[in-house]
Amino acid sequence: MGLEIERKFLPAERPDWLAGRTAERIEQGYLALGEAEQVRLRSADDRRLLTVKRGEGAVREEVEIGLDEAQFQALWPLTEARRLRKTRYRVPLEGGLEAEVDAYEGGLDGLLVAEVEFDSQEQSRDFEPPPWFGGEITGDPRYSNRRLAVDGPPMPGLRRGGNM
């Protein structure tokens, strides 16, 4: 079982330079949702994954298992009404870190979230986000992917980060 240490941010607008970056298309749906646990399916380019996460906030337990296409397709219908689509951009940062910037689609169109994963809690605490990251939303349940997939935008009419 791995440990996931991350911080999330809500950019006020989409940086112009983001459009020129290589991106990954992601579809994900949730098989099971508990108070502090979730079981997720994800299709990202040519990868299919089953992920179990436990905990909330900046530090969580995470286990990922690769699936073949038939396994994924057998489970995918069970995620109906608990899905989201996004395009993920990877942005290099100082100190060898990388931001994953997710531009959401469909009912979440316009929402942009930047996330950075860390090797340690100390590295997470010492991280100074670049100004374009905007406000921090680490631990804000309204911006968890599971809540976005089930409840939609955190606030009606939310249009952060601009359109593609």
Measured distance CA(61)–CA(47) in Å, rounded: 21
Q: Catalytic residue, from 30, 89, 104, 143: name it.
A: 30
| 130, 7 contact by CB (below 8 A) | no
**Alpha-carbon span 30 to 41, nearest angstrom:** 6
For the question of residue 30 being annotated catalytic, the response is yes
**One-letter identity of residue 50:** L
Contacts 24+ apart (CB under 8 A), 88-96: 88/23, 88/24, 88/25, 88/26, 88/44, 89/18, 89/21, 89/22, 89/23, 90/21, 90/22, 90/24, 91/18, 91/21, 93/130
- Rounded CA separation 156/135 (Å): 19
What are the residue numbers of the active site?
30
